């Protein structure tokens, strides 16, 4: 009905209206991409050994907000054998270690149209080639990605480049399709050949948005859950039997929405609620299956190091538009 009214009032054809809507959506993806690029530049500038991880995360997320977007998920600042999902805790006193390798994974969204991107910041020259391996694997995927490319071929290519460099891809982590307000939208982009990823993946589809994120490791090439969880997401409303949780659900969800969030984003929402109170409330919501948590992901070989690079791609007939690259 709205499209028909616009057609009448603005004298657009239906095909023109559809094209206008597509261009409006693309402009939001592109602007979110531009903001994420600026956030990565800021991360490169401020994240150094000795820097407080909470302060760095707050500055980078505030940059995203100040420039007209919102974080698509809590910033990940993962150290050494941590592959992903370490997001700074409330008033986190952790600092960036000397001679560390840091993965900064961040996202931005405008009106739910989101991008996902990551870089590795390496403060130890011993890991330069490890960092380079995941970055070159990502560049290789970008060079072949277009409508119709077999997704399984991308995993094979990532695995080939990383193993030829003398490392292992993280085989049980993958990239993913992106949809509005949905970070992981069903289709996965594997980091290994089909011999490991046994379900069919199909082909890249014209116009769709995908995040590709090769991880390289000098260990086993497998991750497992750690014992820290600082990222959560709402998955269900309270049931009739859980009516005592409705006020808490409404208060928290009105603040963070449907995308993943950090307890940091709830701090200060209620001045009577301290850090312990927030985590106690989140535990209640977890037990009630109202939220889910995303634990930190750690290399199974706890002495191993991990690198990661990631871009968000829009697929075209002749290649792809890299929404999160400054070049």
- Among residues 230, 278, 225, which one has the least CA distance to residue 73? 230
* φ/ψ of residue 134, rounded to 5: -70, -35
Q: Are 86 and 92 in contact (CB under 8 A)?
A: no
Query: Count of CB atoms within 10 A of residue 119's CB?
Result: 24
Distance CA 88, CA 223 (A): 20
Q: Which residues are catalytic?
A: 105, 116, 176, 184, 213, 310
């Amino acid at each position: 009905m709205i499209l028909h009214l616009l057609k009448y009032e603005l004298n657009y054809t239906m095909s023109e209206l559809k094209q206008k809507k597509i261009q409006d959506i693309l402009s939001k993806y592109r602007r979110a991409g531009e903001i994420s690029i600026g956030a990565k530049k800021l991360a490169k500038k401020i994240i150094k050994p000795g820097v407080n991880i909470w302060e760095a995360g707050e500055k980078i997320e505030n940059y995203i907000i100040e420039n007209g977007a919102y974080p698509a998920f809590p910033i990940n600042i993962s150290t050494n054998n941590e592959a992903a999902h370490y997001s700074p805790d409330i008033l986190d006193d952790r600092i960036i270690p000397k001679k560390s390798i840091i993965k900064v994974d961040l996202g931005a969204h405008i009106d739910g149209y989101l991008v996902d991107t990551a870089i590795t910041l390496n403060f130890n020259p011993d890991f330069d080639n490890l960092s380079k391996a995941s970055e070159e694997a990502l560049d290789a995927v970008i060079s072949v990605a277009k409508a119709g490319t077999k997704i399984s071929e991308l995993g094979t290519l990532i695995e080939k480049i990383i193993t030829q460099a003398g490392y292992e891809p993280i085989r049980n982590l993958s990239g993913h399709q992106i949809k509005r307000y949905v970070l992981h939208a069903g289709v996965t982009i594997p980091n290994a050949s089909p011999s490991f990823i046994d379900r069919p993946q199909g082909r890249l589809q014209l116009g769709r948005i995908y995040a590709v994120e090769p991880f390289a490791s000098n260990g086993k090439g497998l991750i497992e859950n750690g014992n820290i969880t600082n990222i959560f997401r709402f998955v269900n409303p309270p049931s009739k039997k859980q009516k005592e949780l409705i006020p808490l659900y409404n208060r928290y969800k009105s603040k963070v929405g449907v995308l993943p969030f950090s307890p940091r984003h709830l701090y200060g929402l209620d001045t009577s609620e301290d850090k312990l109170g927030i985590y106690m409330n989140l535990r209640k919501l977890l037990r009630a299956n109202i939220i889910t948590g995303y634990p930190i992901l750690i290399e199974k070989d706890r002495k191993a190091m991990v690198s990661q690079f990631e871009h968000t791609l829009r697929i075209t007939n002749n290649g792809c538009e890299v929404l999160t690259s400054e070049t």
